[in-house]
Structures are given as structure tokens and as C-alpha cells.
Amino acid sequence: MNTLSLPTAPHIKSAMDIPIKLHSTEHWKTIGPTGIRVWHIVAELVQMNMVPIPDNPFALDVGLWDGLSAVQRSLMAAGMAAFYREIFARVEEPSFELLRLQSAEDWNKLVQRDLETCLRVHFQSVEQSGQVALGN
């Protein structure tokens, strides 16, 4: 009689300890740690695991902010704006070729659109939270 042999815990643990081969981590060795950022790795993981592959692995979903208070929404939007600004400022670096599946111009437009949305939501939320604080 054939029996199914399931891996024991040590086998599972050893399989989980095998690093995933990513272009971004391989480029870490040639470009250096100052050229590869954590978002390169995150973007590559997103692109590997989503079907269809998103044009912008950091695409904004403002619907997630709907349930937040004005103060929470303004802080969340400000944090995301800072993140997008960092990406936007570095989009011409050679290491960004790892992330882009489209032209640099298209990538800039996608990131800039989300950056502008974050800033708009941030300032609207700051205004709303000020009105609430004043009792208006």
C-alpha cells in the first residue's frame, strides 16, 4: 500500500530558509546597497505575484482611506506623498530600470498622478480636521 509522506517540520523550515532569487537582490551585489532601495524588492515581489502585472506596483487605492478620520487620512496621505516623492525624485536612477515595465515617461506620469492625489487628499483632510476642531 502506498502512503503519502508529508514533509516534517525540519524539511519545511529548511525550504522556507531558501532565499527567493530576485533581480533586485542580484543587482544589489553589482550596483551596491545605495543604488537598491527596499521598494525595488517590494515592487519585484508585487510584479511576480500579481496577474495581470500592474503598471505601477505602488498604485494608490484611496478607497482604503474612506473609513479614516480626517486627521488619520491627512497623516496617511502625507506619508504616502513622502514615499511617492522619494520614488519620483529617483526615477531616473539606473536601478529603476529594474522596476519599469514601461517607459520612464509613463512611469513618471503614474507616480506623479498618485503623488498629486495624496497631496490633494492631505490638504483637504487637514482643512476638514481644522473645521472639526473649530466646531464648524
Domain residue spans in the chain?
A: 9-134
| Per-residue model confidence (pLDDT) at position 1 | 47
Please determine, for residue 70, whether its predicted confidence score (pLDDT) is greater than 70. yes
pLDDT top residue among 135 and 26: 26
- Model confidence at 117, pLDDT cuts 50, 70, 90, reads very high
Distance between CA 91 and CA 56 in Å, rounded? 12
Distance between CA 126 and CA 71 in Å, rounded? 7
Q: pTM for the whole thing?
A: 0.69
pLDDT top residue among 100 and 125: 125
Distance between CA 63 and CA 27 in Å, rounded? 35
Q: Which of 17-21, 68-72, 95-99, 129-133 has the highest mean pLDDT?
A: 68-72
Q: Omega of the bond prior to 52 within 30 degrees of 0, cis?
A: yes
Give the model confidence (pLDDT) of 1-53 as tens digits.
455 444 555 555 566 667 778 877 777 777 766 677 787 888 888 888 888 88
| Per-residue model confidence (pLDDT) at position 108 | 78
| Per-residue model confidence (pLDDT) at position 11 | 56
Kindly tell me the sign of the dihedral angle through the C-alpha atoms of 120, 122, 126, 132.
positive
Distance between CA 39 and CA 90 in Å, rounded? 11
Closest CA to 24 of 14, 32, 36, 7: 36
Kindly tell me the sign of the dihedral angle through the C-alpha atoms of 39, 41, 45, 48.
positive
